[in-house]
Amino acid sequence: MTRRPRFVVPVLAAAALALAGCGAPVDEQPAASATPSGTSSDPLAGCTPDALKTLTAGTLTVGTDKPAYGPWFVDDDPANGKGYESAVAYAIADKLGYARDEVTWAVVPFNTAIAPGPKTFDLDLNQVSISEDRRKAVDFSSGYYDVRQTVITYKGSPIDGKTSVANLKGAKLGAQVGTTSYTAATQQIAPTEQVAVFDTNDLAVQALKNQQIDGIVVDLPTGFYMTAAQLDDGVIVGQLPAQGTPEQFGAVLDQGSPLTPCVTAAVDALREDGTLEKLVGEWLSTQGAPELS
Amino acid sequence: MTVPAAPSTEGDGQPSALELERRRYRRGRAVRSAGISAASTLLLVGVVVALVVTSPGWPRVRATFLDWDKAVESFPAVVDGLWLNIRVMLACGVVIAVLGLTLAVMRTVRGPVAFPLRLFATAYVDLFRGLPLLLVIFVLGFGAPALRLSGLPSSALFWGACALVLSYSAYVAEVFRAGIESVHPSQRAAARSLGLSYGQTMRHVVLPQAVRRVVPPLMNDLVSLQKDSGLIAVLGVIDAIRAAQIETALDFNFTPYVVAGALFVCLTIPMARLTDHVARKQGFHGAGGML
């Protein structure tokens, strides 16, 4: 006589059923994308709060990382409209017909912004450089800022006063992880010493203060900000020569987001009417930095 | 005189018919239970797999986390990073073992004269077990070089390794202490009655048994150290996870993380088997002895 496993079989069966039950795939209806309706004269036609399928109807949710760094944001508060990216976000919202109080901000760490899965924002402004490889994973708006990479250091460092990229070969450089600055450091300068990578630019600045590294590779506005506000004796060594296609920051959107065409149209319109240029003049240091040969 | 029902064929080494019947029955039961467990496992795994691959987001997840081309492309960089993990683990592991054992011996020394030693060891363990490792790494890695003392190295790798050693020695000291205190007092008494000094008793009787007993938990700490060695990446050096992060940033494809995870597991499993084997060879059979 066999003892029937009176308990185990039903439990296993129930578990399997429960698993099968929770997996009823939710077929996501492709949202009717509010494509700019045709008229070549105004690509923004059809981009209105009523037509746009945003996360919350009637509001535009903009994401950025925390802490939000200068000169892109001021006082770690993206909602105050101060700082270049904050100002650009409100300008985009304005072009799409959202009032200031219809814009909400979400804290979105960089890795969350680029991961697959449901997004907690409509668009994300986080100094993310546009690249074709990255387009496989996310949507980008058109570029709202043209980036130049620079090298900064402290007065009297081994690379202070160097004038060519070749002269930086022997330097111990640092950069933030996952940035195009790091790529520029490793590939364009290609120093003999391994480039140090840091989680944040703040840690890189700390290492530079400790003289654990000779210089940091960052985008030009951040470089100005670091040498002016974060370092006591910071100097800009110079800008790296531009290579191939100019690098641009773009807003990150979910892949296949119905908002992409409209956000792109808004950014294009801002570039067109001189708003971007005006905001650059207002928030980003426009004094020149020497060009490295 | 009764004839036995099943004539036993004792003496010629042949099992009886009854015994053969029993064996057949047992074999049958074994086959049956193996079949049922296989079917049950397959069913559950099948349901889970079916759920995952039929989910609406699966194609995107597969493309983002399981992209073979990206894995091949990122492999060299991740392995390079892993080499740093391995070097840090080996170098720190040796220092931690020595320091941990020293602390444990200090903490178990008897007698009022040795009180300062016990006090120091106890305070050290309390402090460094309580401090989050990341905090120790930050304070040492960015604080010590900021002193600008000549003669002190400013290398991030050195200070990161120091932080690992300080933190892990506290854990390992407690493991060793548990081992030392698990050796029965009669062992010490026997050793002392044979004329061994305190030092000789520790060296020849107590510590060999203590260390053997704590090999599995020590292995735990070694595996944990292997993974935590990556934390020193916050100081700017590139370990496996950091290398994966850099590769990921190029095209926002997360496959390099999966590659790094697989490599870590591939490192850990052989290490665990090796230590089990060594412990068994040294005559460690667990608390139950040879039963």
B263 vs B160: CA distance, rounded Å: 22
B118 vs B124: CA distance, rounded Å: 10
Considering only residues A175 and A26, tell me which one the structure prediction assigns the higher pLDDT. Answer: A175
Average pLDDT over residues A45-64: 88
Q: Report the side by side order of strands in the sheet with A149-154.
A: A196-198, A173-176, A215-219, A149-154, A234-239
B143 vs B128: CA distance, rounded Å: 17
List C-alpha distances in Å: A278 to A51, A144, B177: 29, 12, 68
Low-confidence ranges of chain B (pLDDT < 70): 1-11, 282-291
Residue type for A15, please?
A: A
Chain A contacts to B (CB-CB under 8 A): 12, 15-16, 19-20, 22-23, 25-28, 114-117, 131, 133-134, 136-138, 174, 177-179, 182-183, 194, 196-199, 203-204, 206-207, 209-213, 255
CB-based contact (8 Å) between B257 and chain A? no
Considering only residues B279 and A129, tell me which one the structure prediction assigns the higher pLDDT. Answer: A129
Q: Which residues of A touch B42 (CB under 8 A)?
A: none
B174 vs B178: CA distance, rounded Å: 6
- Cα angle, residue A38 at apex, residues A36 and A40 outer, rounded to 5°: 100
B213 vs A181: CA distance, rounded Å: 51
Q: Nearest C-alpha of chain A: how many angstroms from B68?
A: 15
Burial (CB count within 10 angstroms: exposed 0-12, middle 13-18, buried 19+), residue B111 = exposed
Q: Nearest C-alpha of chain B: how many angstroms from A127?
A: 13
Q: Nearest C-alpha of chain B: how many angstroms from A39?
A: 34
CB-based contact (8 Å) between B39 and chain A? no
Residue type for A57, please?
A: A
A106 contacts A61 by C-beta, under 8 angstroms = yes
Partner-chain contact A16 B245, CB within 8 Å: no
Considering only the beta carbons, identify the residue of A19, A177, A213 that sits closest to B246: A177
Q: How many C-beta atoms surround the C-beta of residue A124 within 10 A?
A: 26
Q: What pLDDT does A36 receive? A: 47
pLDDT above 70: residue A3? no
Give the orientation angle of helix B255-281 with respect to helix B215-228, to 10 degrees: 160
Backbone angles phi, psi at A249, to 5 degrees: -85, 140
B89 vs A185: CA distance, rounded Å: 29
| CA atoms in the 13 A half-sphere facing the CB of B148 | 4
List C-alpha distances in Å: A9 to A12, A16, A226, B36: 5, 11, 65, 11
What element of type H or E holds B91?
helix B68-108
Considering only residues A21 and B46, tell me which one the structure prediction assigns the higher pLDDT. Answer: B46
DSSP B2: P
Q: What pLDDT does A121 receive? A: 92
Backbone angles phi, psi at A248, to 5 degrees: -135, 145
CB-based contact (8 Å) between B156 and chain A? yes
The separation between CA A142 and the C-alpha centre of its own chain, rounded to angstroms, equals 13
Partner-chain contact B237 A16, CB within 8 Å: no
User: What number of helices (H) and strands (E) belong to chain B?
Assistant: 12, 0
B257 contacts B73 by C-beta, under 8 angstroms = no
Q: Nearest C-alpha of chain B: how many angstroms from A177?
A: 6
Q: Which residues of B touch A19 (CB under 8 A)?
A: 44, 47-48, 51
Mean residue pLDDT across chain A: 84
pLDDT band, very low/low/confident/very high, at A31 (cuts 50, 70, 90): very low
pLDDT above 80: residue A120? yes
Considering only the beta carbons, identify the residue of A22, A27, A178 that sits closest to B56: A27
Considering only the beta carbons, identify the residue of B51, B142, B254 that sits closest to A23: B51
A10 vs A6: CA distance, rounded Å: 7
Q: Which residues of B touch A133 (CB under 8 A)?
A: 250-252
DSSP B239: -
Locate all alpha helices (DSSP H) within chain A, ordered by sequence.
8-22, 84-95, 110-114, 180-183, 201-209, 220-225, 260-272, 275-283
B27 vs B18: CA distance, rounded Å: 14
Burial (CB count within 10 angstroms: exposed 0-12, middle 13-18, buried 19+), residue A36 = middle
- For chains A and B, CB pairs below 8 A equal 100
Q: Which two tokens stand for residue A234?
A: 């910071």
pLDDT tens digits for range A179-228: 889 989 998 899 999 999 998 888 999 999 988 899 999 998 899 889 88
pLDDT band, very low/low/confident/very high, at A283 (cuts 50, 70, 90): confident
- Cα angle, residue B103 at apex, residues B100 and B105 outer, rounded to 5°: 110
The residue among A187, A171, A179, A259 whose CA lies nearest residue A219 is A179
Mean residue pLDDT across chain B: 89
Q: Nearest C-alpha of chain A: how many angstroms from B56?
A: 6
pLDDT band, very low/low/confident/very high, at A38 (cuts 50, 70, 90): very low
Average pLDDT over residues A238-259: 89
CB-based contact (8 Å) between B107 and chain A? no
* Radius of gyration of the CA atoms of chain A, in A: 24
Q: Which residues of A touch B44 (CB under 8 A)?
A: 12, 15-16, 19
The residue among A253, A256, A250, A242 whose CA lies nearest residue A268 is A250
pLDDT above 50: residue A70? yes
What is the separation, in whole angstroms, between the first and last Cα of chain B?
Answer: 44
A287 vs B85: CA distance, rounded Å: 44
Backbone angles phi, psi at A62, to 5 degrees: -110, 130
List C-alpha distances in Å: B168 to A183, B94, B126, B282: 35, 11, 12, 25
List C-alpha distances in Å: B184 to B45, B187, B189, B211: 47, 6, 9, 14
pLDDT above 80: residue A268? yes
- Best residue in B83, B241, B252, B258 for a mutation probing chain A (most A CBs within 10 Å): B252
B261 vs B247: CA distance, rounded Å: 14
The residue among B161, B160, B132 whose CA lies nearest residue B235 is B160
Partner-chain contact B43 A134, CB within 8 Å: no
Q: Nearest C-alpha of chain A: how many angstroms from B80?
A: 12
Least confident of A77-91, A261-275, B4-18, B188-202: B4-18
DSSP B32-71: HHHHHHHHHHHHHHHHHHHHHHHSTTHHHHHHHH--HHHH
Hey, which bits of chain A come out as E strands? 60-64, 103-107, 123-124, 139-147, 149-154, 173-176, 196-198, 215-219, 234-239, 247-253
CB-based contact (8 Å) between B245 and chain A? yes
**Cis ω before B132 (30° cut-off from 0):** no
Q: What pLDDT does B80 receive? A: 93
In DSSP terms, A105 is beta-bridged to A62
Residue type for A193, please?
A: E
| CA atoms in the 13 A half-sphere facing the CB of A150 | 23
Nearest CA in chain B to A255: B60
Q: What pLDDT does B117 receive? A: 94
pLDDT above 80: residue A177? yes
Whether pTM > 0.85 for this model: the answer is no
Q: What pLDDT does A29 receive? A: 43
Partner-chain contact A22 B237, CB within 8 Å: no
Q: What pLDDT does A225 receive? A: 87
Residue-level length of chain B: 291
B12 vs B65: CA distance, rounded Å: 65
At A149 the three-state DSSP class reads strand
